[in-house]
Structure 1
Amino acid sequence: MAFWLLALFFAGYVLFLYGPMLVIVVLSFQGPEGGLTFPMRGWSLHWFRELAQGLGVVDIGAALWRSLGLGLAVMAVTIVFSVLAGLAFRKPLRGANALFFTVVGSLIMPSIIVSLGIGLAFRLLDGGFKYVLDWLGWQDALEGYGTALGIYTSALGAHLTWTLPFGLLIMFAIFNRFNPAYEEAARDLGATPWQTFRHVVLPLIAPSVVGIGMFGFTLSWDEIARTSQAIGDVNTLPLELQGLTTTVTTPAIYALGTVTMVVSFVVMGLAIGLFALLKRRPHRA
């Protein structure tokens, strides 16, 4: 009896968690006369074709590529800095506690406050740049200067305040279980520090590095609050989707949601496949 009660509770939890996603996917395949609610009015790819043609003045394709580019940049920077920080924290490091709490502290700060702070900092930076250009008399540069706010500046920094703490915590967990005897054996055989890292450490932690990359991309891909005040004059796909929920009254908005979910699942599938491949390589070796 207890088993069936727990199974029922688990099924309800899964339905509560993924039911809304399933409803969005189903409603996105309605016919041309379909609406935003059930019952379904036919089945077709009509709303996906409408999405490909654009939703009003919103350029969905450009927003999609901006989100992809930003997600890949966040993923790369998160991997590099997380691995380097994990290696650094393996040895006695002056100010390690302060540095750790500074990095992890961004997780407990409200996301909108982080976004506002970063946006304000870059606007102050804009003011400083303009003052210097004006003081130097470079009027052409001053007139052509826009803002330092952008996808790969302020938005990238805002997303890293969200992804780097997770990457660092994962690397702590990995290196706490890492056997240093492998590195000692490599050094005994004459390997340099770089050779030890490249041929011994990196292959062993590679599956976890893939996991950090997946975390970085997926957290960046659907981030809204930390992006809203730090993005500048363009929008990522989640911000466009949020804005469209108040203006688009057709299942095209569900088609867009389905596309974003497909991209997320494709990234997770690639990461899981790469994780499994890397995990098998040491055993074959």
Structure 2
Amino acid sequence: MARPKTRAATPARRGRPWTFYALATLFALYVAALYGPMFCIYILSFQDVRGGLVFPMRGLSLHWFVDLFTQVRTGDVNGAFDRSIRLAVIVTIITVVFSFMAGLGFRRRFAGDTIVFYLMIGSLVAPGLVLGIGIGLLFQWLGIDASWYTSALGAQLSWTLPFGVLVMFAVMSRFDHAWEEAARDLGASAWQTIRLVVIPVLAPGLIAVALFGFTLSYDEFARTLQTAGSLNTLPLEIWSMTLNVTSPSLYALGTVTTIVSFLIIGVSLGTIVLIQKRRGPRAPRH
């Protein structure tokens, strides 16, 4: 009888080097320092009426979430939330449209394109608070009253547009121009090519730009502080509440804003995954 084949002996597994455990410990400390304060706020926001601003936690209820939207003493939370959402939607739409147009415009070189590019992203290196003061002074010089839909809108666009343009450039770099040529060969006009070919292909990238625009606007504080006028956005309302609210309502507000942010991120990522699945696997190139 033929002898059964045996597997070759494998060398003994070596233990992980000490650097692995050192780096793993460092990473664990980093994660704890990054998310620990957030989880403390989330936990303390679910206390009952006896709750305070520090541990130990007293009871478990949704009292402070109800108090947040029903008591006047906690501030104008409903109005601030409404303004932040509307401002974020406007900023998102403008950011997506202008970033897409910039991506189309920069596909071909033109005179002064490098200067224009650096002018677009120059606001990223400027301190947000200083830039907000400058924008507020500019609108005052133009005779336009500072408000969340005028000067605050301009201040936030100076933050969201550079990010949107950079993301769109990365997306455009992977776009195959052969699809546009095929559409034109089939008789499509320039607008039909953009509407039926370019936008559907770039849809995941456009959603990513929209996600950047919405989240950056929704959470922006420094550039909005000097430009929002007398009506606060939600980050400004949270900041003002730290001066006069001494209850877990402040923590409840932080929990609500985080939930909204995660919902927006989840919907955006889910939409991108759904689009990729509907497209199906691409045929390999030869």
| TM-score, length basis structure 2 | 0.89
2:238 matched to 1:241?
yes
Counterpart of 2:53 (choices 36, 40, 50) is: 36
Once superposed, what is the RMSD of the aligned Cα atoms? 1.5
* Counterpart code for 1:246: L
| SS, match of residue 22 in structure 1 | helix
How far the C-alpha of 1:123 sits from its partner, in A, is 0.7
Which residue matches 1:212? Answer: 209
Identity of aligned residues (%): 51
Which residue matches 2:4? Answer: none
Which residue matches 2:277? Answer: 280
Counterpart of 2:73 (choices 48, 56, 77) is: 56
2:196 matched to 1:199?
yes
How far the C-alpha of 1:37 sits from its partner, in A, is 0.6
| SS, match of residue 42 in structure 1 | coil
Which residue matches 1:26? Answer: 43
For structure 2, list consecutive stretches of 5 or more residues without a partner in the other structure: 1-15
How far the C-alpha of 1:57 sits from its partner, in A, is 6.7
2:187 matched to 1:190?
yes
Q: Which has the higher helix share?
A: 1
* Counterpart code for 1:45: L
How far the C-alpha of 1:284 sits from its partner, in A, is 7.2
| SS, match of residue 106 in structure 1 | helix
Counterpart of 1:115 (choices 103, 122, 132) is: 132
Distance in 1 separating the partners of 2:145 and 2:201: 39
* Counterpart code for 2:187: G
Which consecutive segments of 4 or more residues in structure 1 shift more than 4 A?
A: none
Distance in 2 separating the partners of 1:89 and 1:149: 33
Distance in 2 separating the partners of 1:205 and 1:17: 33
Deviation larger for 44-53 or 9-18: 9-18
- Decide which structure has the larger Cα Rg and report it: 2
Which residue matches 1:86? Answer: 103
CA contact (8 A) 1:203 1:282 kept: no
How far the C-alpha of 1:92 sits from its partner, in A, is 2.4
* Counterpart code for 2:272: F
For structure 1, list consecutive stretches of 5 or more residues without a partner in the other structure: 127-146
2:192 matched to 1:173?
no
Counterpart of 1:68 (choices 79, 85, 96) is: 85
CA contact (8 A) 2:207 2:268 kept: yes
Distance in 1 separating the partners of 2:160 and 2:219: 12
CA contact (8 A) 2:132 2:227 kept: yes
| TM-score, length basis structure 1 | 0.89
CA contact (8 A) 1:29 1:255 kept: yes
